[in-house]
Amino acid sequence: MSKEKFLNQATSVDNIEKFLEILGKFYIMFDQNKITYNEDVFRDVFLPNDFIKSLIDKVRNFYFTNIENIDKINTAIITTSLHGREMNLEFIIINKDNKYFFVLSNDSYIRYEFFRTNILNTLSHELKTPLTIIKGYVQYVMKSLPERNALMNIMSVILNETYRLEEIISELIEVSKFYSNSVIIKKDIFSVNSLINMVINKFEPKIKSKGVSMSVEIQNNDFEVVADFEKMRYVISELIENSIKYGKDKIFLRCFENTEGFYFEIIDNGKGMSKEIIKNLFNLFIRTENELNRKIYGLGVGLFLVKKIVEAHGGEIYIKSKLNKGTRVMIFIPRTFSAAGSLFAGE
């Protein structure tokens, strides 16, 4: 239904509230100082507890700010956010018997966001169960086979691909947690050496096979970090893996601390990136043409999670890159887990 047709019908009916409910439209009605709304429209959509309240507050502020000229305004654009995603919601303003109805015209944005976050969560969890079963049976069969059996090679490939799928599903589950605001950040106390050694040991075969020279510099040889160990392991692993994939032959990792917090810096001498690529680098499911052409596996989830994890710690991440020169990634994690100024700010 076009906006004009909707307005004509809405203003001509006797009971506009009933008309809007039949159409399934969300509205907020102002009758002088009285405010009513039909929250039931979104009963099939599990929204955060404070979303509707926040939306009503923003529409109320718009109404009372523009009350003297409200009869001259046909639409209102209200900016809000859902699951960390900013959206502009359009409300059509209808005056019926001196009652002002703000009718949400693009409610599909909210439904789409609900579908997007829930499909991530549901698919991720539903895929994980059968994958775990497959992995278990493959491992069982491999234990009963001779090492040089041809079937053993086939089963090894299946198992490796299962591990890869398991990793992708785990990432999608983490994405769904961030969108549903259910991420828990632990305050672990750990040695930075233990973190870095674990990451480097994981990638040692790849580092050797690619002939990469990896050097590490840690302030005072070691220091303690206060952060979520597993999530920081993911962050450093993702950045090191990217340096191996897209770098040339040198990677430098530096870790240090000051009174503000903890710093991790990763530098490679790879092909580098343009400003256009960097601008969208942390968006979900974003992959560059370079990645697709080189047939490198991945969904474009890793750097999205890296940024979310760092920000969940109250930290900051910066990327500096020059084409054909290399890339420098800088991470700052504050000691207090709250926003703080870092040495990298403004670089």
161-218: pLDDT as tens digits? 887 787 777 787 787 777 666 788 888 999 999 999 999 999 998 898 889 899 999 9
Please state at what angle helix 108-143 crosses helix 150-179, rounded to 10 degrees: 150
CA distance 36 to 305: 39
pLDDT tens-place string over residues 22-44: 777 888 999 887 898 887 777 65
| Domains detected in the chain | 3-106 (3.30.450), 113-179 (1.10.287), 188-334 (3.30.565.10)
Cα distances (angstroms) measured from residue 105 to each of 24, 109, 291: 11, 10, 39
Predicted confidence at residue 298, as pLDDT, reads 56
Half-sphere exposure (CA, 13 Å, Cβ side) for 10? 25
CA distance 13 to 16: 6
Local structure of residue 263 (DSSP, 8 states): E
**φ and ψ at residue 343, rounded to 5 degrees:** -65, -25
Following CA atoms 86, 108, 91, 98 in sequence, which dihedral angle do they give, to the nearest 10 degrees? -140
Local structure of residue 39 (DSSP, 8 states): G
If one counts every other C-beta atom within 10 angstroms of the C-beta of residue 53, the result is 11
Q: Are strands 250-257 and 213-218 parallel, antiparallel or unpaired?
A: parallel
Predicted confidence at residue 17, as pLDDT, reads 83
Beta bridge partners, 140, equal: none
**What tokens does 262 get?**
């903890």
Q: What angle do CA 300, 236, 287 make, to 5 degrees?
A: 15
Which SS3 state, helix, strand or coil, does residue 225 take? strand
CA distance 122 to 65: 42
User: Which distant-in-sequence residues (6+ apart) come within 8 Å of 83 by Cβ?
Assistant: 48, 113, 117, 178, 179, 180, 181
Following CA atoms 229, 202, 281, 211 in sequence, which dihedral angle do they give, to the nearest 10 degrees? 150
pLDDT tens-place string over residues 285-306: 665 545 434 444 556 788 889 9
CA distance 9 to 268: 63
> What is the residue-wise DSSP string for 285-317?
T---HHHHHTT----S-HHHHHHHHHHHTT-EE
| DSSP H or E stretch at residue 201 | helix 192-210
What is the chain's pLDDT, residue by residue, as a tens digit (347 residues)? 566 667 667 777 778 888 887 777 888 999 887 898 887 777 656 666 678 888 889 999 999 888 888 887 788 888 887 766 778 888 988 888 888 999 888 777 676 666 566 666 666 666 777 777 888 888 888 787 776 667 777 777 888 788 778 777 778 778 777 766 678 888 899 999 999 999 999 999 889 888 989 999 999 889 999 999 999 999 999 999 989 988 888 999 999 999 999 999 999 998 888 888 888 788 776 655 454 344 445 567 888 899 999 999 999 999 999 888 899 999 999 987 643 444 444 34
pTM: 0.59
Please state at what angle helix 229-246 crosses helix 192-210, rounded to 10 degrees: 20
Predicted confidence at residue 121, as pLDDT, reads 62
